[in-house]
Amino acid sequence: MPAPRQVNIAVLGAGGVGSCFLSQLSSLSAKLSQNPSTPTYLSLILLSRSKTMVYNDAFKPINISDWKSIMEKNSKPALPLPDLADFLAMSPEKVVLVDNTSSQDVADHYPMFLRKGISVVTANKKGFAGSYALWQDIFRAASNGTGQGGWIFHESSVGACLPTVSTLKDLVETGDEVRKIEGVFSGTMSFLFNNFMPAGGGGGSFSQEVKKAKDLGYTEPDPRDDLNGMDVARKLTILGRLVGLEIESPTSFPVQSLIPTALENVKDPNEFMAKLGGYDGEMEKLKKEAASEGKVLRYVGSVDVEKKQCRVGLEKFDSSHPISALKGSDNIFSFYTKRYGESPLVIQGAGAGGDVTAMGVTGDLIKVLRLLPQRQ
């Protein structure tokens, strides 16, 4: 009977995704410890928020079911990231770092963690959608079978748990030729346009629909952080890079902002919301135009791989197109490839939410566990 394995888990971030992850980690850990062929013991040995951390020098496990009160009672000031990397590297067992933050700073340090043999699983887009230099550094630092660096997985960085990253990687690695990627990559934009211009007709004014989305909690606290299109641009950057395009940054291709120019610099989000109605005319005109052609407006991202062109913005679609028929805040990703021909490989479903995003992270954690060497 093989010796049981022990793997130490360090979790950064305890927000919406982080809390769901911790509850999934708790049940995963119980299940793996019962595995009859190779029991694996997962220990949560560090938990961090932006200013505070829980850990101990002996790498003793933290009770996962009790993390909230432990975090309140026993936390110390957060270690600076280079010190955190040194600390984790001293662990007697392999360490997997779960990044549940949206921090650029944490993402900038992935290469450092990986080079110290620490694996990383993450829903944070910042490491993969920032500069191309960081992208290259991360994948150079990651183990590629040589057994030196840690492993890195980031399924949830695009479309939460929808299998977008892994599917694209499989297409590329098995030799298919990806020609075009197109879709609705933002739950917020999906909800907004499915309501502003439903395929069956109707829908309120643009500002009314933005207000509705905000009131339901579908937007960022300042809806301009959605309307500027940068969230979509970041996801498109990741998808484009996965098919081999050297995209310099999410600002190196055209991104259509839906924020009226006059309201870009308004300080207060409430003032922005109050004034948005004054600019409904432009969107109303586009809506009428699309309707007169029997089409609907949608906010999409697309990569034309052959022409090496990326674009984010409004497009018109026939009402029979799968993109027009999207419901609620669902995402859709269409991969047009040589093997799939005229009929693209389509992935569709919920692209946000703590639980489904955490599931993507937990799935990545399971992949890393399979790759880590068995105990001697």
Ligand X SMILES: *C1O[C@H](CO)[C@@H](O)[C@H](O)[C@H]1NC(C)=O
Minimum Å gap between C-beta 101 and ligand X is 6
Is residue 76 among the annotated active site residues? no
Name which of 94 and 235 has its Cβ closer to ligand NAP: 235
Determine whether the annotation assigns residue 328 to a binding site. Answer: no
Determine whether the annotation assigns residue 121 to a binding site. Answer: no
Instruction: Tell me which residue has tokens 């809506």.
Output: 287
Catalytic residue among 214, 235, 287, 295: 235
Instruction: Compose the 29-68 pattern: x for residues touching ligand NAP by CB under 6 A, - for all others.
Output: -------------------xxxx-----------------
Minimum Å gap between C-beta 20 and ligand X is 5
**How many CB atoms neighbour CB 21 within 10 A?**
30
Minimum Å gap between C-beta 317 and ligand X is 31
Instruction: Work out whether 100 is an interface residue with ligand NAP (CB under 6 A).
Output: yes
* Distance (Å, whole) CA 28 – CA 41: 10
Determine whether the annotation assigns residue 18 to a binding site. Answer: yes
* Distance (Å, whole) CA 258 – CA 328: 20
Determine whether the annotation assigns residue 184 to a binding site. Answer: no
Determine whether the annotation assigns residue 17 to a binding site. Answer: yes
Instruction: Work out whether 150 is an interface residue with ligand NAP (CB under 6 A).
Output: no
Determine whether the annotation assigns residue 16 to a binding site. Answer: yes
The contact set with ligand X (CB under 6 A) reads 13, 17-18, 20-22, 24-25, 63, 65-66, 98-100, 122-124, 144, 146, 156, 357-358, 360-362
Which residues share a beta bridge with 11? 47, 98
Name which position in 103, 166, 249, 257 contacts ligand NAP (CB under 6 A): 103
Instruction: Tell me which residue has tokens 């090496």.
Output: 308
Residue number of the CB atom closest to ligand X: 21
Can you read off the two tokens belonging to residue 103? Answer: 């921090």
Instruction: Compose the 315-354 pattern: x for residues touching ligand NAP by CB under 6 A, - for all others.
Output: -------------------------------------xxx
Instruction: Work out whether 249 is an interface residue with ligand NAP (CB under 6 A).
Output: no
Name which of 160 and 245 has its Cβ closer to ligand NAP: 160
Instruction: Work out whether 160 is an interface residue with ligand NAP (CB under 6 A).
Output: yes
Instruction: Work out whether 15 is an interface residue with ligand NAP (CB under 6 A).
Output: yes
* Residue 144 interacts with which of ligand X, ligand NAP, none, CB < 5 to 8 Å by class: ligand X
Instruction: Work out whether 77 is an interface residue with ligand NAP (CB under 6 A).
Output: no
* Residue 208 interacts with which of ligand X, ligand NAP, none, CB < 5 to 8 Å by class: none
CB 70 within 8 A of CB 63: yes
List of residues contacting ligand NAP (CB under 6 A): 12-18, 48-51, 100-103, 105-106, 123-125, 156, 160, 352-354, 357
Active site residues: 235
Q: Which residues are annotated as a binding site?
A: 13-18, 101, 125, 220
